[in-house]
Chain A
Amino acid sequence: MGEMPVVPEPAALPWWWALLLPVLLGFVTWLVLVGDAALSGGRAAFAAPGREAVRLVVGQRRRTVAADTVLGRIGGGTLPVAALLAAAVLPLGERPVADLSVGVVWFNAMEVLAWAAVWMVGWGSNSALGLVGGYRFVAQGLAYELPHMFAIITAALGAESLRLTTIVDAQRDLWFVVIMPVAFAVYLVSAAAMAFWGPFDAPVARDVAGGAAVELSGVDRLVFAGGRWLLLVVAAAMAVPLFLGGGAGPLLPAWAWVAVKTAAVLALLLWLRHRFPTVRMDRYVELAWVVLIPLTIAQALAVALVVLGGA
């Protein structure tokens, strides 16, 4: 203890990747949408996401009486922006767009912006059901965020670094999913929860007629829904450098392995939604605080002992 760790040279991609990143993520998101449409048995799955987007582009934007348009629109726009900023530290292959020394915390901070975004959208429309949706997401955030933080910090602990490229390097011999399975499982659950996806879609659920998004139409709905999908893709992709060894794998180049592993995580998340009914906040908070938090703390302790023993 006490000696200063060696700081690796930042290994970021050239700057123009920052422009390419939204295009790349948009493409992946579109593929996921097609996959989701195909899985849910929709016909013409290949065309469905495109038609849906066109429908929303030509759709009229509506305004409700006494709406807080300022907060509502800022909230809607924040969602995709937060997802893209979070993706900046994601190693696409071996290198990310921005190789921050505090990458894990950066990802966490950007992903948390969704709290504010969904609440603002729910508030903005001046609708009881919309506000219920917004509040539901804050309650859900309080439930998933603490176990989630312990899960990602456990990965950082295993590599003794908050830098994602270093975390990937530390998994050269052994993927973290092997030594920290609990943290990985909790991460997957919170990835679904932070994108209010699958069994955690109560903030936009049918029982409140679309919740936070209840009054959105046209481009507003497109931005909100698109931002949510982007967030899901980024959260799923982040599991790869944190727990699944990043681009490591035989034969294929690193970027291909990242793509394959991300697709696998996304498939798991799609299955999760198919498999489980919506988990309501009042039940999930209890599970998260009574079961998941102690489990993740115990996991972090175990990993800390392994790291100390190995050092």
Chain B
Amino acid sequence: MDLTALLLRIAARRPHVLVVAVPGATGVRLALEAALARRGWPVATGPADADVLAVAGSPGPELAAVVSAVWEQVPAPRARIEVREPPEVDQRLDAAAALLADAGHQRTDVVPEARRDAGAHAGHGGEAEHGAPPEHAGHVDHGGHHDHHHGHGGTVAGLPMAELGPDRDGLTLDRLHVPLGPVLPDWPAGLVVRVTLQGDVIQEASADVLDAGHAVPFEWPSSAARELDGLARFLGVAGWPSAAGQARRLRDAALSGDRIETGAAVLLRRIRRSRTLRWLIRGIPAGPTDVAALLEERLAAIEAPLREPQHGHHAAERLGELLVGAELAAARLIVAAVDPDARHVGAGHG
């Protein structure tokens, strides 16, 4: 009896799937998410947590580079699939599970230690070219070089050091360049925000969509479903998984043509009544408006599907600016509230 083979088979019954969404291929992502929910397979938070790397759509050259960088960070046993059309989803997922359970294959597919891209794991950006270094690195195996008055700059273990810059109190603190996205949980497809961090406060930010010219905008069959999708992501970032799950179920129901009025009313009441959520998102500025107002706009659009939210589109054009001065958690909420569409992200530099 081969114990490893048995364990692999057991583990393959419930793999964690990391979904990389291609801008414009929203239909494939929705089908993939629905299939995962149906199977009870968890969505991975990052490469370390993943068994299956699932690319939803056909990536352009920039995103393809990211995908291969992320793939190198996925620990074995692992499987990689690319789903081009919604009907393929189940077949591809079954193939991935079969590959995970295949002991012979997994034994030969050992991740090479040395090839793991250092820059990529800072933000799971895995941008092959722009991979920014993590600053706060731990102990390094270096020679016996003892000199505490080091200059900043230079490289250690192949990673560039952080540079210095004044913070808002006039102290000179480290600045770290981190790409956020495009592989982050509940993050808009293809979006990359390059931020300069001091601690967890964003000093500079510029937003970009990978392969911007490549994407064909997705036509949502129902605008309520589109808003519910954005809402589910916002609630995920706000750390409210039960409400986010409710929003996703409603979204899927709306997509399959079911009536969702009652369910939507229940969810909206739950969100509007939550004093905790209001307390948490109150006073986080997002341009002329704030995160709470953007959320309310989205909720209203779910109730009255004809009212398309406007603020969000204006905000998306200057996303980079909006994030300057925010700390990381607030910045995630701002991005999720704005929920920029690939078409609307400008070269807003902050």
Contacts and interface: CB of A to CB of B under 8 A. Distances in A.
B176 A128 contact: yes
B293 interface: no
Interface in A267-303: 273-280, 282-283
B14 A278 contact: no
Given A126-B134, A221-B49, A71 B139 contact: yes
Contacts of A41: 245
Contacts of A275: 242
Given A61-B75, A62-B116, A199 B159 contact: no
Contacts of A65: 116, 118, 137, 157-159
Contacts of A59: 11, 51, 75-77
Interface residues of A, number: 64
Nearest to B117: A65
Nearest to B13: A51
A120 to B, nearest CB: 9
Given A277-B239, A278-B239, A48 B276 contact: no
A280 B331 CA distance: 13
A58 B49 contact: no
Contacts of A103: none
Nearest to B38: A43
B48 A214 contact: yes
Nearest to A279: B280
A60 B51 CA distance: 10
Interface residues of B, number: 68
B230 to A, nearest CB: 15
Given A44-B40, A58-B4, A129 B329 contact: no
Interface stretch (B120-128, B165-173, B253-261, B305-313): B120-128
Nearest to B239: A278
Given A202-B239, A221-B49, A276-B240, A66 B280 contact: no
Contact of A210 (B10, B45, B199): B45
B297 interface: no
Contact of A66 (B15, B118, B176): B118
Nearest to B333: A207
Residue picked from B7, B113, B139, B277, most chain A C-beta under 10 Å: B139
B156 interface: yes
B75 A218 contact: yes
A58 B8 contact: yes
B11 A63 contact: no
B136 interface: yes
A72 B139 CA distance: 10
A85 to B, nearest CB: 26
Nearest to A70: B139
A186 B110 CA distance: 48
A273 B239 CA distance: 9
A55 B14 contact: yes
A65 B332 CA distance: 26
Residue picked from A44, A60, A65, A127, most chain B C-beta under 10 Å: A65
30 contacts: A44-B14, A59-B75, A62-B73, A62-B116, A64-B116, A64-B118, A64-B121, A65-B157, A65-B159, A66-B156, A66-B157, A68-B139, A124-B138, A128-B134, A128-B176, A129-B122, A206-B185, A207-B239, A207-B329, A209-B45, A209-B184, A210-B45, A217-B49, A218-B75, A221-B48, A274-B242, A276-B240, A278-B239, A278-B240, A282-B327
- Ranked nearest first, the 10 interchain pairs of A and B with the lowest CB-CB distance are A68-B138, A278-B239, A277-B240, A65-B118, A55-B11, A60-B75, A66-B157, A126-B137, A207-B332, A210-B45
Interface of B: 4, 7-8, 10-11, 13-16, 40, 45-46, 48-49, 51, 73, 75-77, 110-111, 113, 116, 118, 121-124, 134-140, 156-159, 176, 178, 184-186, 197, 199-200, 235-243, 245, 274, 276-277, 279-280, 327-330, 332-333
Given A276-B274, A278-B240, 15 more contacts: A43-B40, A51-B14, A57-B7, A58-B4, A65-B157, A129-B122, A205-B329, A207-B333, A208-B329, A213-B48, A216-B48, A277-B243, A280-B329, A280-B330, A283-B280
